[in-house]
Amino acid sequence: MAKLEAELKKNNKISQVSVSYFDSPANLEQLDELEKSGKIEKTVLDFYRASDGFEINWAAVDENLVKNEILGRVKINPFQQVVKKWSGVVYFDGEPENSARRKFFPTDFFVDEAAAGFCSLEGYRDFMYLYKFEGDIIPLFVKFADYLQLMLLAKGCLYWQYLILSIVDKAENEVSSRIKTYLPQLFPGFSFAAFEKYFNENSIK
């Protein structure tokens, strides 16, 4: 995180850089109990033993990049906000008890319209998911620790998760195409090849 923060702040093509860290440590006893239950993927709990989340926002100076929604948005919520009841937001009355949505917990709540998170339903616990607050949760096939590493490689760009979907689907999508086209204009060191390599080496399939 410190490396990305320094990179953002020294990049003169970027304005309005904001990086903040949440300072409300998770309850270690609670994390230990949850690890024993096996309901939450271990690297989620390991992260919250060391940190209680952070938020990144950045914007490009170039108006064309702004128009193409090349901006940074990451919000790893504090643990107690993550594990609260999400009735009325993620799921609604009448949602079946065994629904994956009922057991989905937004962890990276990067915009109001979408979030990435984990699911505690048996059979869904191994990796992170993207949810657009309609339809089904979409598997990203990586543990939380690797999700964070991929986020850093993608500079926290808005909807960078669609780069994963383009790899999984073996097909370009509008968002991944836009990121691949414009993100290197801000970050010449950005490499989709490196992103794809990391994903292929660490994904769970």
Q: What is the DSSP string of 73-114?
A: EEEE--HHHHTS--BTTTB-TT--TT-TGGGEEEEEEEETTE
For residue 202, being part of any structural domain is answered with: no
For residue 107, being part of any structural domain is answered with: yes
In three-state secondary structure terms, 132 is: coil
For residue 203, being part of any structural domain is answered with: no
For residue 91, being part of any structural domain is answered with: yes
What pLDDT is attached to residue 23? Answer: 80
Please, are residues 184 and 190 in contact by the beta-carbon 8 Å criterion? yes
For residue 204, being part of any structural domain is answered with: no
Interhelix angle 42-50/144-153, nearest 10 degrees:
70
Tens digits of residue pLDDT in 188-200? 999 999 999 999 9
Integer-rounded Cα radius of gyration of the chain: 17
What is the number of domains present in the chain? 1
Residue 102 has pLDDT above 90, yes or no: yes
Tens digits of residue pLDDT in 116-162? 999 999 999 999 999 999 999 999 999 999 999 999 999 999 999 99
Burial class (CB in 10 A: 0-12, 13-18, 19+), 187: middle
